[in-house]
Chains A and B, each alone.
Chain A
Amino acid sequence: MRRLHSLSGVVPVGAFLCVHLWTNSKAMLGPTSFGQAVEEINHIPFLIVVELAGIFLPLAFHAVYGVVLAFQSRPNVGAYGYTRNWLYTLQRITGVIAFLFIILHLKDFRVAKALGLMRPEGFFFELGNLLAVRWKALVYLFGTTASVFHFANGLRTFLWSWGITVSERSQRFATLASATLGAVLWLLGANTILFFATGGSMMFPASWVRAEGGRDPADPALHPVSSASPSLSK
């Protein structure tokens, strides 16, 4: 059962996180590019089955069983403040944060889409509206950070507990590799959020990501929805 939990965290949940952050980052190329990506996803055959069996069920299992496991642990970093003991504790904290964040995130988008409140074509603008609310952007940044940490650290412990990285030397290598992957994912995710929230980018000059001639998302012309309906933005 715990082995299944550990596997489900990497594939498909972890893999989905990577793909998801990667697709989202296409938004920085502008609404056309992002819209194309959304379009592609919406044309996957049997999308609802793929979503349910490939993402939602494994995610729900990993999340619910994970919370049970988190509350079975008795962290003791006070007495034994070793690095990996801290990572153990943080893994459980970030897991619970990610659980709550993903519920909020699903409510914001997937449920809204299912109820017909939000059309896939409008995602780009809806995102701009949603993340323009300062506290929401901060919650998203925090939740993404927790999720990415949880995935990268989970990948490291997965490699170890499945007997792939047995020696201390290989474990250190895996730590470095997962940390690098985590950092890249975090940069992707955080930049996307920042892009929607402020129209700027944190690490890269704007010209890098707007090769396609994308415009500033703060540009009112890009916000037909928000200009039509009253919104909390700015």
Chain B
Amino acid sequence: MAEENKRPITFRIKRSLDGNRDSSTWEEFEVPWEPQMNVISALMAIQRKPKTKEGRETPPVVWEQACLEEVCGSCTMLINGKVRQACTALIDSLSPNGEPVTIEPMTKFPLVRDLIVDRTRMFENLKRAKAWIFIDGTHSLGPGPRVAPEVQEEAYSLSRCMTCGCCVEACPNVNDASPFMGPAVLSQVRLFNLHPSGKMNAGERLDAVMGEGGVADCGKAQNCVQVCPKEIPLTESIAVIGRDTMKRALFGWLLK
């Protein structure tokens, strides 16, 4: 690392103490460069010494974090305008020549404070779509059916979803004016409908994403698959669910 790169890095952070976006303000902080530093370690340094670049004392910036290895999704935020996890946002690649780094909370969820947003909506959607397998009962049902390796592979790629909200954030059709649930839940419907035991409730799940805000409200921009940190084939899922819901809507009433 060249000597000049060791200059302090400036972080521009969008802040709101009361969760009101309209009164959000930008504050600048300076953090000394350290090897291997990422956005989380920079936020920790700011928390230890909450002083703006101008030297003014300020309440420490708050954010969410848990795993620090991009599997929990809790530290998702906008870094240099794009949604991603802060833990894997390395400063050396964001700011190779000491450029300032901007950090904002996600915009498609209710703001709680500073970089913390409330993603309850995503979990509500999962509940609506019954994104689980019904196995609890009063007696043992024995081992489940075997799953072909091909299906396992397909399901595995979908099971990596951590409900971080990147796909929802980058979707131009998720906004105040539109009821769209976002891509993540559609992919989970595909996952649980692939499962041999989960299939038993396939119809219920499709019903949950068929009405208002469901798969038909997708705007086809396909940003979701581009920003997904887990490389989940979200656009494949949307096409599959689009087809399954269509079949159900068109032919369901003919059969029963």
**A interface residues with partner B (beta carbon < 8 Å):** 1-3, 6, 69, 71-76, 78-80, 82, 84-85, 87-89, 91, 157, 160-168, 171
Contacts and interface: CB of A to CB of B under 8 A. Distances in A.
Given A2-B216, A88-B219, A161 B242 contact: yes
Contacts of A6: 216
B49 interface: no
B47 interface: no
A3 B170 CA distance: 23
Contacts of A85: 172, 221-223, 226
B82 A161 contact: no
Given A76-B172, A157-B220, A163 B246 contact: yes
A167 to B, nearest CB: 6
Nearest to B226: A82
Sorting the interface of chain B by its residue count into under 10, 10 to 19, 20 to 34 or 35 or more gives 20 to 34
Contacts of B236: 166-168
Contacts of B243: 162-164, 166
Interface of B: 81-82, 170, 172-173, 175, 177-178, 215-223, 226-227, 233, 235-236, 238-244, 246, 249
B242 A163 contact: yes
Contacts of B177: 71-72, 74
A80 B170 contact: yes
Nearest to B233: A168
A147 B35 CA distance: 54
A85 B220 CA distance: 8
A161 B242 CA distance: 6
Contacts of B218: 161
Contacts of A3: 216, 246, 249
Of the listed residues A75, A89, A163, the one surrounded by the most CB atoms of chain B closer than 10 A to its CB is A163
Nearest to B78: A79
B172 A74 contact: yes
B235 A73 contact: no
B242 A76 contact: no
Nearest to A160: B239
A161 B243 CA distance: 8
A212 B218 CA distance: 49
Contacts of A167: 236
Contacts of B242: 160-163
Contacts of B82: 79-80
A87 B219 CA distance: 11
A73 B172 CA distance: 6
Contact of A166 (B178, B216, B222, B239): B239
6 contacts: A2-B217, A72-B173, A72-B177, A80-B82, A82-B226, A88-B220
Contacts of B219: 69, 73, 88
Contacts of A163: 239-244, 246
Contacts of A88: 172, 219-222
The 3 A-B pairs at the shortest CB distance, nearest first, are namely A163-B243, A88-B221, A157-B220
